[in-house]
A and B are shown apart, each in its own frame.
Chain A
Amino acid sequence: MSERRILYFDNAATTYPKPQCVTEAVMRCICEAGGNPGRGSHILALRAAEEIYACREEAASFFGAESAERVVFTLNTTYALNLALKSVLRRGDHVLIGSMEHNAVLRPIRALVETGEISYSVFRARGTEAEILADIRAKICRNTRVLMAAHVPNLANGALPIQQIGALCRERGVLFIVDGAQSAGHLPIDVTKMQIDMLCIPGHKGLYGTQGCGMIVCGSNALTRGQTLVEGGSGMHSIDPFMPTDLPERHEAGTLPTPAIASLAAGIRFVRRQGIDAIHNAECDLWRLLFTELSVMRGVRLYDSTPGSVLLFNFDGISPTEVSDRLNKRGICVRSGYHCAPMAHKTLGSIDTGGVRVSFGAFHTERDVRSLRDAIRAIAHG
């Protein structure tokens, strides 16, 4: 299969290929900035620290944060969500989550519920803006401390009205944590305007960096006051037995992945150059093309009619795994199963089988989509 052209349609898991500027940024970082960032002030340590600071500035500007200090690097979105949540929750708190959440949101919540720390409720994340907001209003209670939800789920395309939810949370004194795993780089996000306390995002999906880093972009001081999740070396205040009190170092114990962070800065610049609207519109066009083709194919079931970057489908009588295996044999990469999102599958009506997910990226063409269509049609015809 290595001889054949691979058609990659699993960009919701991680984007591929990466832009040339991202590859070059990693190479340059490894070759020229190989010191440990924030650990000493020799030339290579400083170059590494400058790579990281450049990314903080890029991300702060891209997501509307007040300053570079409000960008905290993590391993990935899951780690970011765990840190955001566990740093601010106290025993007896109530948390509100959406009905389309990934396990990165559900499992930390359920773990805290199991130990009796917190309680939680689920609001409807599908429907009209008015329906979603009314349900949230009805479910915020006296001890609700956090509302945590995916801006865009990983199986469908409708975005939550986060600006309105942010305003509601601020009005009711609820911290607003957004899982931006599927929206960062696809839709404009401004943590200040949208009143998002903590935006948790990956570097390696819609921002086109490499795997190895995620981040929390803070729209408020909530994380500054929060408990640490991991403690250790920070390169400063070394005599103190406690972590520093200031962002971002308070929550960045241990060595940061400088090459991944350098790649993320290059990835954000790539998205800026392409234009976030241009990328999104192109993905919507490809989605419409595939949706139109699949909707007339016998035995194909579709679950969402909103254009965007992902399309979930199933075949009558053929398991999702079988479909993805057959596509893989033709050099086409899609993702089958439950996509770590049983809540979303339940909401969409695909919980009994799971599904096959196609997800688009910035480098796809109509020709790619027509090739995918032909392969799916061949499976449909046995």
Chain B
Amino acid sequence: MCILTMKSMTGALRAKSALDARGISCTVVNIDPHLTAHGCAYGIRFACANSEKAIEFLAAKGVPYGVLIGGGRR
């Protein structure tokens, strides 16, 4: 599974709402604080096979996102 970091819980839920509507299944998760620069953070987790499609869709919808963790990237 891959995780896309988000700026906030609100941002993560916005991304989840957008992706759910697009038919891309995902869940909101806590991100291990050692992986972030500022401590507690949230992200959305989805199948790595959907990474490209998910990121393209969020970018097109203007939903801010951070970095992709997993799937050989970070």
Contact = CB atoms under 8 A, between A and B. Distances in A.
Interface of A: 37-38, 40-41, 46, 49-50, 53, 56-57, 67-69, 235-240, 244, 246, 248-249
B62 to A, nearest CB: 8
Q: DSSP majority for the A interface?
A: loop
Contact of B40 (A50, A67, A237, A248): A237
A238 B39 CA distance: 5
A46 B12 CA distance: 11
B8 A249 contact: yes
A69 B65 CA distance: 13
Contacts of A46: 28
Contact of A238 (B7, B8, B14, B40): B40
Q: Is the interface of B mostly helix, strand, loop or mixed?
A: mixed
A240 B38 CA distance: 6
Contacts, number: 61
Contacts of A235: 9, 40
Nearest to B13: A53
Among B13, B14, B17, B33: residue with most chain A CB under 10 A: B13
29 contacts: A40-B30, A41-B29, A46-B28, A49-B13, A49-B28, A53-B9, A57-B17, A68-B13, A68-B14, A69-B10, A69-B14, A236-B8, A236-B9, A236-B40, A236-B41, A237-B38, A237-B39, A237-B40, A237-B41, A238-B33, A238-B39, A239-B38, A239-B39, A244-B7, A244-B8, A246-B7, A246-B8, A249-B8, A249-B9
Contacts of B10: 38, 53, 56, 68-69, 248-249
Give the residue among A38, A41, A240 with the most B Cβ atoms within 10 A.
A41
B12 to A, nearest CB: 8
A258 to B, nearest CB: 13
Contacts of A240: 38-39
Interface in B1-35: 7-11, 13-14, 17, 28-30, 33
Contacts of A56: 10
Contacts of A249: 8-10
A58 to B, nearest CB: 12
Contacts of B28: 41, 46, 49
Contacts of B46: none
B68 to A, nearest CB: 18
A237 B10 CA distance: 14
Contacts of A244: 7-8
Most buried by A among B29, B38, B40: B40
Nearest to A46: B28
